[in-house]
């Protein structure tokens, strides 16, 4: 397994980022200011993570996506661990926003994240079409936080 920081041609990863965020316009709002980490296994792209500085003590995962055939194999967890280790000396918190899908929320909570706020109707007001994840219509954006120190 190899994780590379992507410094150019970030839009080459849009196809994979669309798994984590279904709207290319939303991705375009953060991709340029994001640091992209790409995880490869046997030279094959498996998963990506887009990270931005939220404020002086907080780093935010804007997108975490893994190709479906590689999901549930620990790749996303490896990226979260990589980001945590990379930024734990510089930042106090790692945050991310996700939909109100029990499976996704459980994934993050098992990795030490706790819900700390929510933005009502984020998905219904900011996306041009309904977003479904695992059969669940997403309405609110739920923000989760993990202490890095």
pLDDT by residue for the chain (149 residues), tens only, comes to 999 999 999 999 999 999 999 889 999 999 999 999 999 999 999 999 999 999 999 999 999 999 999 999 999 999 999 999 999 999 999 999 999 888 889 999 999 999 999 999 998 998 888 888 878 888 999 999 999 98
The residue among 69, 142, 130, 129 whose CA lies nearest residue 103 is 142
Nearest to 149 by CA among 112, 121, 98, 115: 112
Q: Among all chains, which residue has been given the structure tokens 């706790």?
A: 114
| Global pTM value | 0.92
Alpha carbon 1 to chain centroid distance?
Answer: 19
Q: For the domain with range 2-147, which CATH number is right: 1.10.760.10, 3.30.390.50, 3.10.129.10, 3.40.630.30?
A: 3.40.630.30
């Amino acid at each position: 397994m190899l994780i590379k920081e992507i410094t150019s041609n970030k839009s080459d990863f849009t196809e994979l980022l669309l798994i984590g965020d279904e709207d290319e316009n939303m991705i375009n709002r953060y991709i340029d200011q994001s640091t992209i980490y790409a995880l490869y296994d046997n030279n094959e792209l498996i998963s990506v993570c887009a990270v931005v500085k939220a404020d002086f003590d907080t780093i935010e995962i804007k997108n975490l996506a893994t190709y479906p055939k590689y999901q549930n194999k620990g790749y996303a967890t490896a990226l979260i661990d990589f980001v945590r280790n990379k930024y734990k000396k510089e930042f106090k918190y790692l945050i991310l926003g996700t939909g109100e899908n029990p499976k996704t929320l459980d994934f993050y909570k098992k990795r030490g994240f706790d819900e700390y706020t929510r933005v009502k109707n984020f998905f219904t007001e900011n996306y041009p079409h309904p977003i479904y994840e695992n059969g669940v219509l997403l309405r609110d954006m739920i923000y989760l936080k993990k202490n890095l120190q």
